[in-house]
């Protein structure tokens, strides 16, 4: 029985490294991360059941002591305290909906996987799990590679056509591949962490004269590097360069005394060959950082062509409209990221110790969002991450969370570096293994600086130290217990553990199926099939009523259906309206700091205003709360002004719309609405102009639109109508 449990545990860890990055599903609300997180939860439950059952049968409680025990436990404790004092404890526990990675439950899972891994896996088997991780990486890289050329296997599964038609124009793998990870930067972070490991195994198997296997890993380094370039990820490329330079200098230091020996020359030649071939691919394919184009083939070619043209007097260079250097297609991502980081720091300064709560960045950022964000191309995007893992921890879990997180990282780096540099009993190959693991770990730290972690990257972050500790003999393995005659109490313990595991699996399965119903209902809502969506959303809420995201979508669906049925079936419309409002009431009562639910509440109440005017006043109260939760969100303030005007509070509407134009000075709709309300304030009940100053302001607003936004039919029509009414 103990042997069976050991095999199940081993199988689960193989699946964790090999299959997790490959998991995705078409019918869920989020195709990639959501399913990877659920798969990890399931594996953790199975591992926990087998590990606990094994200890029951062995009659001993055995958890391996490691150097990272205290740092990891301190980090998890800081996250738990932050969850308790969170702006939204439910979100902090589960994580932000659809991803869930980063929530308290996921962090506990990663911590548990670390302790269970070091306590159940024998040292001699550790390399197999890294090889499993590399095999998973090879499959993922091969899966994503043809998408760059317009042949995505994912679309073949989803739609039966080997092309890229299943993706939107804003999400094109021909521009930036994402394979089974779901986003180019996530794929880049994953591949960069694997490249040093493939490097090590290629050298290692070459030394053992297993040249075919060595060649496979050699090829995988090239494959991973090419896929990395096709992601066009700047953060991933920076992580790649730094980790490779680190590995290069570590290799030189470790093998410094062998460069004159004949026996190591072939190995050194292989090492140099991997580097040279990899960087040749970079040279000819190109890389995502424009400032480094000078060291690529295309950059040298363009510079040579430009230089040739500049010294040829018989030819002239035509200047295109875009040659001014102004970026086309949106605000530079670096500018947006700096604004998000500024808002993250402002939020932390108001919640310095334990932050706003694990995974509550979406709430924290909108409270302290810089007004300058309104002037970017992503001014109306919802940011639920700081796009910097460290700032994200600082904002959401305070100095306690970031401090313990950095302590966990720093202590491992210290121990691993010391072992690589100063442990005399380590062989050169063992030291190179540690260097490879450190390079992989450092790459994660760098890509996390430019983005945020995903499921497989967090698995690596927590479990990679275990491989180093095993190699450096920092783990002391106790002798495995022997199974003797099993008593009734032992069988009872195993049975109870099994029942708990089954219950947890049932909860996860129920939640996952509820999400499928929610995703289907949300899609039907998106194409206007509200009655079809209604049943699916009801199924989702009935299956898992604790999830507020399901309730939020159902409440909006109720309101739209009520609005559509008001003239044909007033009774049903009234029932739907009551259900929608009650659901919304419960949502904002249980989650008062979630600006998304308040914004949706405004939409709900505004839609129901034609059924009962009392909803208009409730909508006004809701938009006022939303404005407090997002004081610099120009769209909220615009809607706030419109609602004030529609409830006959013209002066308040004018004041609010003026603030809206101050928040976003290129907001044409706000200027137009302001002009209309100036006009309403200018005329009397008979439609005659009673306040010429207000009339002039109305005209000025419409002229401002024409002068700054070009010919606008609405503004022209308004000026024409006003001129005729005098």
Render pLDDT for 606-626 as a digit per residue (tens, 0 to 9): 999 878 888 999 999 999 999
Tell me: pLDDT of 118 over 50: yes
Check: CB of residue 54 under 8 Å from CB of residue 5: yes
Q: Which pair of tokens denotes residue 628?
A: 């407090």
Alpha-carbon span 14 to 135, nearest angstrom = 11
For residue 322, the model assigns a pLDDT of: 32
pLDDT band at 647 (very low <50, low <70, confident <90, very high): confident
Q: Which pair of tokens denotes residue 523?
A: 């899609």
Q: What is the pLDDT of residues 132-182, one digit of tens each?
A: 999 999 999 999 999 999 999 999 999 899 999 999 887 899 999 999 999
Tell me: pLDDT of 218 over 50: yes
Residue 477: phi and psi, rounded to 5, are -85, 125
Alpha-carbon span 627 to 650, nearest angstrom = 18
Q: Which pair of tokens denotes residue 456?
A: 């497989």
Q: What is the pLDDT of residues 377-409, one digit of tens each?
A: 989 888 999 999 999 999 999 999 999 999 999
Largest Cα span, the chain:
102
String of DSSP letters for 292-316 = GGGGSHHHHHHHHHHHHHHT-TT--
Average pLDDT for 281-290: 88
Tell me: pLDDT of 321 over 50: no
Average pLDDT for 490-494: 92
String of DSSP letters for 125-136 = GHHHHHHHHHHH
Query: What is the enclosing helix (H) or strand (E) of 614?
Result: helix 614-629
* Nearest in space to 364 (alpha carbons), one of 631, 661, 638, 84: 631
- Residue 455 CB partners (closer than 8 Å, separation 6+): 20, 33, 36, 37, 40, 101, 106
Check: CB of residue 207 under 8 Å from CB of residue 418: no
For residue 311, the model assigns a pLDDT of: 43
Average pLDDT for 109-119: 96
Residue 689: phi and psi, rounded to 5, are -70, 120
Alpha-carbon span 676 to 668, nearest angstrom = 13
- Give the ranges where 149-233 is alpha helix by DSSP (H): 153-159, 184-207, 211-231
Q: What 3-state DSSP class applies to 690?
A: coil
For residue 175, the model assigns a pLDDT of: 93
Check: CB of residue 657 under 8 Å from CB of residue 638: yes
pLDDT band at 500 (very low <50, low <70, confident <90, very high): very high
Average pLDDT for 699-711: 94
Alpha-carbon span 649 to 637, nearest angstrom = 15
Would you tell me the crossing angle of helices 455-471 and 104-120 to the nearest 10 degrees? 30
For residue 471, the model assigns a pLDDT of: 84
For residue 330, the model assigns a pLDDT of: 72
The better pLDDT of the pair 324, 361 is held by 361
Cα–Cα separations (whole angstroms), residue 124 to 15, 128, 466, 477: 18, 9, 13, 11
Average pLDDT for 534-545: 96
Mean pLDDT of the chain: 91
* Nearest in space to 1 (alpha carbons), one of 58, 63, 61: 58
Check: CB of residue 14 under 8 Å from CB of residue 118: no
For residue 291, the model assigns a pLDDT of: 80
Place of tokens 């008001």: 566
Tell me: pLDDT of 323 over 70: no
Place of tokens 């317009």: 150
Alpha-carbon span 548 to 87, nearest angstrom = 15
pLDDT band at 310 (very low <50, low <70, confident <90, very high): very low
- Residue 411 CB partners (closer than 8 Å, separation 6+): 67, 68, 71
Tell me: pLDDT of 324 over 80: no
For residue 479, the model assigns a pLDDT of: 55
Alpha-carbon span 598 to 585, nearest angstrom = 10
Cα–Cα separations (whole angstroms), residue 549 to 155, 220, 553: 28, 41, 6
Residue 683: phi and psi, rounded to 5, are -100, 155
Determine whether 580 is exposed, middle or buried from the number of CB atoms within 10 Å of its CB (0-12, 13-18, 19+): buried
For residue 631, the model assigns a pLDDT of: 96
Average pLDDT for 191-216: 95
Distance of CA 5 to the CA centre of its chain: 34
Model-level pTM? 0.92
- Residue 648 CB partners (closer than 8 Å, separation 6+): none
Tell me: pLDDT of 327 over 50: no
Gap between the terminal Cα atoms of the chain: 94
Cα–Cα separations (whole angstroms), residue 502 to 50, 243, 496, 499: 12, 42, 10, 5
Distance of CA 65 to the CA centre of its chain: 33
DSSP 479: P
Tell me: pLDDT of 261 over 80: no
Residue 702: phi and psi, rounded to 5, are -70, -40
Tell me: pLDDT of 214 over 60: yes
Alpha-carbon span 57 to 480, nearest angstrom = 11
For residue 277, the model assigns a pLDDT of: 92
Q: Which pair of tokens denotes residue 369?
A: 């969002």
Tell me: pLDDT of 320 over 60: no
Tell me: pLDDT of 726 over 50: yes
Among 60-64, 144-148, 551-555, the least confident range = 60-64
- Scored b (16 or more CB within 10 A) or e, 586-616 reads ebbeebebbbbbbbbbbbbbbbbbebeeebb
Place of tokens 């292989």: 270
For residue 90, the model assigns a pLDDT of: 96
For residue 610, the model assigns a pLDDT of: 78
Alpha-carbon span 721 to 726, nearest angstrom = 9
* Nearest in space to 688 (alpha carbons), one of 725, 635, 642: 725
Alpha-carbon span 342 to 344, nearest angstrom = 5
Query: What is the enclosing helix (H) or strand (E) of 668?
Result: helix 668-682
Alpha-carbon span 353 to 346, nearest angstrom = 13
* Residue 158: CB atoms within 10 Å: 15
* Nearest in space to 281 (alpha carbons), one of 299, 261, 296, 294: 296
* Nearest in space to 62 (alpha carbons), one of 16, 105, 121: 121
Phi-psi region of 482 (alpha: psi -120 to 50; beta: other; left: phi over 0): beta
Average pLDDT for 98-110: 95
Average pLDDT for 477-491: 71
Alpha-carbon span 600 to 582, nearest angstrom = 13
Tell me: pLDDT of 314 over 60: no
For residue 575, the model assigns a pLDDT of: 94
Tell me: pLDDT of 309 over 70: no
């Amino acid at each position: 029985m103990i042997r069976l449990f050991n095999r199940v545990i081993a199988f689960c860890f193989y699946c964790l490294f090999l299959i997790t990055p490959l998991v995705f599903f078409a019918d869920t609300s989020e195709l990639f991360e959501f399913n990877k997180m659920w798969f990890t939860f399931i594996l953790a439950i199975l591992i926990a059941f087998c590990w606990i059952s094994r200890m029951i049968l062995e009659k001993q409680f055995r958890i391996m002591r490691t150097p990272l025990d205290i740092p990891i436990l301190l980090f998890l404790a800081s996250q738990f305290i932050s969850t308790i004092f969170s702006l939204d404890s439910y979100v902090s526990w589960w994580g932000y909906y659809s991803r869930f990675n980063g929530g308290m439950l996921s962090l506990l899972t990663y911590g548990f996987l670390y302790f269970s891994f070091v306590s159940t896996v024998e040292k001699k088997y550790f390399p197999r799990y890294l090889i499993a991780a590399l095999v998973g990486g090879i499959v993922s890289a091969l899966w994503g590679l043809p998408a760059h050329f317009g042949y995505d296997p994912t679309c073949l599964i989803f739609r039966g056509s080997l092309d890229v038609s299943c993706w939107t124009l804003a999400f094109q793998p021909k521009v930036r591949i994402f394979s089974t990870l779901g986003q180019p930067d996530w794929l880049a972070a994953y591949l960069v962490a694997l490249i040093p490991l493939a490097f090590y195994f290629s050298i290692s198997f070459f030394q053992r004269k297993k040249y075919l296997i060595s060649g496979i890993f050699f090829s995988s380094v090239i494959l991973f590097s090419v896929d990395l370039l096709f992601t066009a990820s700047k953060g991933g490329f920076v992580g790649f360069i730094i980790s490779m330079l680190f590995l290069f200098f570590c290799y030189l230091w470790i093998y410094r005394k062998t460069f004159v020996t004949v026996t190591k020359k072939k190995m050194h030649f292989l090492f140099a060959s991997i580097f040279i071939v990899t960087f040749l691919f970079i040279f000819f394919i190109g890389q995502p950082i424009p400032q480094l184009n000078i060291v690529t083939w295309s950059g040298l070619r363009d510079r040579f062509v430009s230089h040739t043209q500049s010294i040829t007097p018989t030819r002239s260079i035509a200047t295109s409209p875009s040659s001014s250097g102004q970026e086309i297609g949106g605000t530079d991502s670096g500018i947006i990221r700096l604004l998000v980081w500024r808002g993250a720091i402002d939020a932390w300064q108001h919640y310095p110790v334990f932050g706003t709560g694990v995974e509550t960045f979406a709430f924290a950022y909108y409270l302290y969002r810089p007004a300058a964000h309104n002037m970017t191309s992503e001014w109306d995007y919802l940011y639920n991450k700081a796009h910097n893992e460290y700032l994200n921890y600082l904002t959401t879990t305070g100095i306690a969370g970031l401090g313990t997180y950095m302590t966990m990282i720093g202590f491992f780096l210290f121990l691993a570096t010391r072992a690589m540099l100063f442990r005399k009993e380590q062989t050169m190959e063992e030291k190179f293994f540690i260097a490879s693991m450190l390079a992989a770990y450092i790459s994660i730290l760098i890509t996390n600086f430019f983005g945020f972690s995903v499921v497989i990257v967090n698995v690596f972050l927590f479990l990679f130290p275990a491989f180093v500790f095993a190699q450096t003999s920092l783990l002391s393995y106790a002798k495995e217990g022997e199974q003797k005659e099993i008593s009734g109490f032992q069988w009872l313990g195993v049975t109870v553990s099994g029942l708990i595991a089954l219950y947890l699996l049932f909860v996860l399965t129920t939640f996952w199926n509820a999400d499928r119903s929610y995703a289907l209902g949300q899609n039907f809502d998106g194409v206007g099939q509200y009655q079809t969506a209604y049943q699916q959303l009801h199924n989702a809420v009935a299956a898992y009523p604790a999830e507020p995201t399901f309730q939020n979508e159902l409440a909006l669906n109720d309101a739209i259906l009520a609005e559509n049925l008001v003239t044909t079936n007033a009774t049903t419309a009234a029932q739907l309206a009551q259900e929608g409002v009650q659901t919304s009431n419960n949502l904002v009562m249980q989650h008062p700091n979630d600006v998304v639910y308040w914004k949706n509440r405004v939409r709900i109440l505004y839609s129901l205003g034609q059924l009962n005017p009392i909803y208009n006043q409730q909508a006004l109260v809701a938009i006022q709360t939303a404005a407090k939760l997002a004081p610099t969100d120009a769209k909220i303030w615009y809607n706030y002004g419109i609602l004030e005007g529609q409830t006959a509070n013209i002066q308040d509407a004018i004041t609010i719309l003026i603030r809206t134009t101050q928040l976003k000075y290129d907001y044409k709709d706000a200027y137009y609405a302001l002009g209309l309300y100036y006009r309403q304030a200018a005329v009397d009940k008979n439609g005659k102009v009673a306040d010429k100053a207000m009339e002039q302001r109305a005209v000025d607003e419409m002229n401002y639109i024409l002068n700054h936004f070009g010919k606008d039919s609405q503004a022209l029509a308004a000026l024409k109508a006003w001129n005729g009414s005098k």
